Amino acid sequence: MRMAYVCADPGIPVFGCKGASVHVQEVLRGLLKQGVDVTLIAQRFDGEPPAGLEGLKCLALPPLPRGSALERAQGALTAGHAALRSALQSLAPLDWVYERYSLWSDAGMAYAREQGIPGLLEVNAPLIEEQRTHRELPLEHEARRVAQSVFADATAMIAVSPGVKQYLQAQGAEPQRVQVVANGVDPARFATAAAGRAGRMARRAHDSGAEPAVIGFLGTLKPWHGLPTLVQAFERLHRQYPHTRLLVVGDGPEQAAIRADLVARGLEAHVRFAGAVEPAQVPGWLAQMDVAVAPYPQLAEFYFSPLKIYEYMAAGLPVVATRVGHLESVVLHGETGLLVPPQQPEQMAEAIAQLLNDPAQQARMGHNGRRLAEQERSWDAVVQRIVHTMRTTPLQPPRPLA
């Protein structure tokens, strides 16, 4: 089975350390393990292939022009489109084309449909709305044309969350053409983190003052991750438990504002920013945490499939998350963590304190989360569902979207 994996998004360094980068890498590893002969076609690589992908065949799309967002979008629509089509033609014959949806790319799915081979589109977010809200969106009409084209040409679509599936259906996609396949985790990669956490608990049981209790967050520091609520919750918690510390693993556009807020609250000495770290380093940082938090705010449409939560669980950490979107099906309240209302720092602080005061509950939830990650949330299981979708979806041309 010969397949092209396409990631034409210039915002995703496929060999980098962003959550999207990890997703690309793990799906590629899984496909290789399934025996698929896969070639990666990408706009941006940022480094050498990570472990497990050393022999991966790669084709680089030409760099986009330097300049304004408008100039880069125009470059992607013209030269980028032609370059992707040429790369796909150079790999013929192909059995499948798998493409990660990006704002300016529809050549992958169009090529698959023209060649009469399955085209599977992975959709991670409503990119047009996300770009317009949080960044700059030039050529919106063209972006909408690309979306309609790529959604119509795809034989099937993988949505990473129920929210993304609802978005695709609102765009006119037939429900049977959209499968929800959430993100996953490699449990083996986090086994040392789970063991390290167990060691922390044992030392604390022997000597309660041995190590400070660490509240942790992992992820890119962006507005939709809810760090202001976590800072407010930590302030309340720290007043009651001065030995607590906050560990933030990740970087992003909100870091300056978060640091300023911590300084204003007099908390900067009790918080550590690890910055952006390579995926291989993430387990070591999670091993330093006692409770992990996913403080998402209330959002009109919640479409995330939180990689951080699966990694928290694989590391044996109890999770405190907000009850938004479909997260109650990800974090099982009372079993793998605790759910609290969004943007309610007092209730978040109370949930964290409940776990810190009950080591047995911490251990039980951490154990349950680890077991769930091993049995149901592994990347191997994710890729098996993707391959099954590719093999079983009928090839007849889908109806045009409305």
CB atoms within 10 A of CB 316: 27
Q: Which residues of 214-224 are buried (b: 16+ CB within 10 A; e: fewer)?
A: bbbbbbbbeee
Tens digits of residue pLDDT in 359-398:
999 999 999 999 999 999 999 999 999 999 888 877 755 5
Return the pLDDT at 209: 62
Exposure class string for 181-210: b at 16+ Cβ within 10 A, else e: bbbbbbbebbbebbebbeebbeebeeeeee
Burial class (CB in 10 A: 0-12, 13-18, 19+), 260: exposed
Q: Is the pLDDT of residue 57 over 70?
A: yes
CATH superfamily ID and name for 2-184+379-392: Glycogen Phosphorylase B; (3.40.50.2000)
Q: Computed from CA positions of residues 314, 352, 273, 245, in that sequence, does the dihedral angle turn out positive or negative? A: negative
Alpha-carbon distance of 358 to 340, in angstroms, equals 18
- Which two structure tokens, joined as six digits, stand for 40? 């990666």
What CA–CA distance (Å, rounded) separates 142 from 123? Answer: 18
Task: Give the residue extent of every domain in the chain.
Answer: 2-184+379-392, 187-375
Residue 360, pLDDT score: 92
- Among residues 242, 266, 259, 230, the alpha carbon closest in space to that of 347 is found at 230
**CATH numeric code, 187-375:** 3.40.50.2000
pLDDT in tens, 24-48: 999 999 999 999 999 999 999 998 9
Q: Which pLDDT does position 178 carry in this prediction?
A: 94
End-to-end Cα distance, the chain: 33
Report pLDDT for 203. Answer: 73
- What is the pLDDT at residue 17? 84
Asked if pLDDT for residue 401 goes beyond 60, the answer is no
User: How many CB atoms lie under 10 A from the CB of residue 284?
Assistant: 15
Measured in whole angstroms, the distance separating CA 300 from the mean position of its chain's CA atoms is 19
Closest CA to 198 of 53, 366, 320, 8: 366
Give the per-residue pLDDT at 132: 86
pTM of the model: 0.85
| Chain Cα centroid distance, residue 350 | 27
Q: Kindly indicate the confidence band of residue 4, based on its pLDDT and cuts at 50, 70 and 90.
A: very high
What are the φ/ψ torsions at residue 73 (nearest 5 degrees)? Answer: -65, -40
Lookup result for tokens 């006692």: 290
| Residues contacting 159, CB < 8 A, separation 6+ | 123, 165, 167, 168, 178, 179, 180, 181
The single-letter code of the amino acid at 143 is A
Residue-wise pLDDT for 264-311, tens only, equals 999 999 999 999 998 889 999 999 999 999 999 998 788 888 899 999
Q: Do residues 356 and 290 lie in contact, with contact meaning Cβ atoms separated by under 8 Å?
A: yes
Domains 2-184+379-392 and 187-375 share a fold: yes
